Structure 1
Amino acid sequence: MIVKKRTVPIRLLQLRALKRRLAKTHPVYPKIAEELSLREAGYRGEQSLDYHLNFLSEKDFFILNDVHLISKKGYGFQMDTIVLCAQFIAILEIKNIAGNIRFNDATKQMVRTFKEDKQVLPNPIIQLRRQRIQLTDWLLERNYPLKPVVELIVLTHPSVIIESDHLNNQTINRFIISDHLPEKLEQLQRRYSTEKLTQKDLRKMASLLNSEHYKEKPPSLQSYQLHFHDLQKGIRCPECHQYMMERVVAKWQCKRCRTYSKYAHYEAIEDYSLLIKSTITNQELRSFLKITSSTVSHLLLTQMKLPRTKKNKYTFYTLNIPISP
């Protein structure tokens, strides 16, 4: 059973917005484009895994994707996917990596060779071990008994090859190709057959993990030492992607390619929410969209039916992601 569906990570949405809003000549643009490419690939890998997870029994397995939790000590941690069953808990770290992957037990390094280029990658086993300790502590803080917690690195790229340097069984067993994941989880279910939670307790645990998921919004501009003035303002044309849309009789028209759009401003307002802040005033909207009429901006905000609050002489409109017509 899918308890928490996979959604586009907020960091990925922010990077997409940054790439849209930065001029290609900006010195930070190549770094944004590179990170976006890596995160897009990672998200595609996570999505491809969802297909294989659908083969698990809905009655026996509860699945939560992209879970952020905060312990009572105040530290936060994130897991790509958690699989719960009566016998054990599995933490899945999903890697969409092409090429040859070699893990060296002696140096604790994971090295990827791709098109004759060698690259040392972060060690996912260390990361998973930390997540296991954090999740175990989190559950103990909420009076759940100790359960077996399994750590699995799931490789989703179809052309990945795993190689070994004297890998011991404990290490190699943590790596699994995504096609084989359902079978692996069912094997673990049989292995831990004596360790059981009741169906009621399992549902309660899944519900608690889902309800305590923390919707983190990481800083975007600050991460790259960017400022408001670095962003391109205005409304982007959905056809030629230039910021040259102007208001013409209840619609937007691109001055460059003459394309019309009724809802082109929605993307711009979503960019504002992702990159600047989650509330906006009439004046802030005019500044970001590069429009001069307060009547037009008031009409746009009213039509979107956004929650609003009044403070002193200003009205603040709350922006929720995604923003769509």
Structure 2
Amino acid sequence: MSPTVLKPRCKSHALLAYEALFRQVLPQYRKHESIISEYRKEKAGYDGERNVDYKLSTYPRKDFLVVQGIRLKNPPFYFQIDTLILTRRFICILEIKNQKGTLKYDANLKQMVQEIDGKVISYKDPILQAEAQKTHLREWLAMHGIFNVPIEALVVIAYPSTIIENVQGDPGVYNQIIHREGLHQHLERVGRNHPNHLLTNAQLKKLCRVLADEDTPLQTDILEKHGVSGRHLIRGIPCSKCHTYPMKRLYKNWQCQKCLATKPKAHERVILDHFLLHQPTVTNQECRNLLQIDSPRTAYNIMNTMGLHKSGKNSARVYHAPPLSEFPQDSSFPFNLQNHIAKQSLD
């Protein structure tokens, strides 16, 4: 018996895009320090969220509905919630933090400071962040006719090894910033504070549908962010074994011209990477340029066998990216990140 996950967590657009960039960037540009640094931040956040997801999955309450990551619009702003717990009695926001080392929270200064490896890093007040999310969610719920459900928020530190110091000794902080290991106990506490059913089953089901419909994942243009252009990227399909490119199309198959490895669906990663790095659509001509092939019929067959949604007819036809949740969630890198950190320009 465990909570029902309505929306399983998938990698963010930014994280998927960084992984795509590592696959598609030319070898001489793979040591770019700022790209690797930003990727690691995205990956650390995702890993921290997954750690909390696991802990929550072991909570023995089947009446909890869990949304693992959602971004909604409270005009004119968007707000993002790491984990949203829905019940008929209350709603709870989990603001997940992945920092390691020692975290010192100062209730007077409204500041959290991280000390790790001799460095001191200041962050926004996570309690104020969670309170802002509560405000946005309360206003969003009101727009959908829900006014009477209490909203709680917990700041969850993802790693048990992280030391949390409550600088002012403020007793309220102990119920607001918690370790992942204490999540079950704090959810029990919150539940005891809200014993009455305020939403009907019909209202809860409707809320779940509206949340799914209005979820709007953030789309990040990492090429523009890091000054990456076409000249920095591989043309064609790189071999997944020896990384030589481009692979050559040989009757419904792709073959590496160096190691002779074959892979019938090697084009799929490259087309999906195009959606992540460039734009959420692709035309027949763009597909041919992307895969370094000449035949419009081959490009047509490739995109149709991928089951991509399409619109328009003939030369105006475009194929659309699938939802983020349908992108492969397994990481695939052409090199070991640990050995590729250096200050390098893309010039």
**The two structures share one fold, judged by TM-score above 0.5:** yes
Could you say which residue in structure 2 is the equivalent of 1:162? 164
Alignment partner of 2:229 out of 224, 227, 230: 227
Distance in 2 between the 1:303 and 1:206 partners? Answer: 33
Distance in 2 between the 1:204 and 1:304 partners? Answer: 33
Please show how residues 29-178 of structure 1 align to structure 2 within 5 Å: 29-71=32-74, 73-178=75-180
Moved more, 218-227 or 264-273: 218-227
Distance in 1 between the 2:327 and 2:53 partners? Answer: 25
Asked whether the 8 Å contact 1:246–1:254 carries over to 2, the reply is yes
Asked whether the 8 Å contact 1:252–1:262 carries over to 2, the reply is yes
Asked whether the 8 Å contact 1:92–1:154 carries over to 2, the reply is yes
Asked whether the 8 Å contact 1:140–1:146 carries over to 2, the reply is no
- Does residue 315 (structure 1) correspond to residue 317 (structure 2)? The answer is yes
User: What is the CA distance between 1:195 and its match in structure 2?
Assistant: 6.7
Could you say which residue in structure 2 is the equivalent of 1:208? 210
- Does residue 23 (structure 1) correspond to residue 26 (structure 2)? The answer is yes
Which structure has the higher relative contact order (CA within 8 Å, separation 6+)? 2
- The 3 A distance-change label for structure 1 pair 169 and 194 is farther
Asked whether the 8 Å contact 2:246–2:256 carries over to 1, the reply is yes
Moved more, 127-136 or 303-312: 303-312
User: What is the CA distance between 1:57 and its match in structure 2?
Assistant: 4.4
Distance in 1 between the 2:6 and 2:84 partners? Answer: 10
In the comparison of the two structures, how many residue pairs are matched? 323
- The 3 A distance-change label for structure 1 pair 157 and 256 is farther
- Does residue 291 (structure 1) correspond to residue 289 (structure 2)? The answer is no
User: What is the CA distance between 1:43 and its match in structure 2?
Assistant: 1.0
Alignment partner of 2:15 out of 8, 12, 15: 12
Three-state SS of the structure 1 residue aligned to 2:26 is coil
Asked whether the 8 Å contact 1:22–1:29 carries over to 2, the reply is no
User: What is the CA distance between 1:311 and its match in structure 2?
Assistant: 4.9
User: What is the CA distance between 1:131 and its match in structure 2?
Assistant: 0.8
User: What is the CA distance between 1:136 and its match in structure 2?
Assistant: 0.7
Letter in 1 for 2:42: R
Asked whether the 8 Å contact 2:127–2:177 carries over to 1, the reply is no
Distance in 2 between the 1:60 and 1:306 partners? Answer: 36
Percent identity over the alignment? Answer: 31
Three-state SS of the structure 2 residue aligned to 1:8 is coil
Q: Would you tell me which structure has more strand in proportion to its own residues? A: 1
Asked whether the 8 Å contact 1:18–1:275 carries over to 2, the reply is yes
User: What is the CA distance between 1:63 and its match in structure 2?
Assistant: 1.0
Moved more, 293-302 or 161-170: 293-302
Distance in 1 between the 2:106 and 2:327 partners? Answer: 46
- Does residue 261 (structure 1) correspond to residue 263 (structure 2)? The answer is yes
What TM-score, normalized by structure 2, do the two folds share?
A: 0.84
Could you say which residue in structure 1 is the equivalent of 2:341? none
Which blocks of at least 5 consecutive residues in structure 1 are unaligned? none
Moved more, 20-29 or 80-89: 20-29
User: What is the CA distance between 1:27 and its match in structure 2?
Assistant: 9.0
Please show how residues 229-248 of structure 1 align to structure 2 within 5 Å: 229-248=231-250
What TM-score, normalized by structure 1, do the two folds share?
A: 0.90
Distance in 1 between the 2:302 and 2:96 partners? Answer: 41
Distance in 1 between the 2:245 and 2:9 partners? Answer: 32
User: What is the CA distance between 1:221 and its match in structure 2?
Assistant: 2.5
Three-state SS of the structure 1 residue aligned to 2:68 is strand
- The 3 A distance-change label for structure 1 pair 99 and 300 is same
Three-state SS of the structure 1 residue aligned to 2:160 is coil
Letter in 1 for 2:96: I
* CA RMSD across the alignment: 2.4
Distance in 1 between the 2:16 and 2:139 partners? Answer: 31
Superposed CA deviations along residues 244-282 of structure 1, whole A, max 9, x for unmatched, are 322234322223333221111111000111111222122
Which blocks of at least 5 consecutive residues in structure 2 are unaligned? 329-347
Asked whether the 8 Å contact 1:19–1:32 carries over to 2, the reply is no
Superposed CA deviations along residues 185-215 of structure 1, whole A, max 9, x for unmatched, are 1111112225733344333333332332224
- The 3 A distance-change label for structure 1 pair 198 and 302 is closer
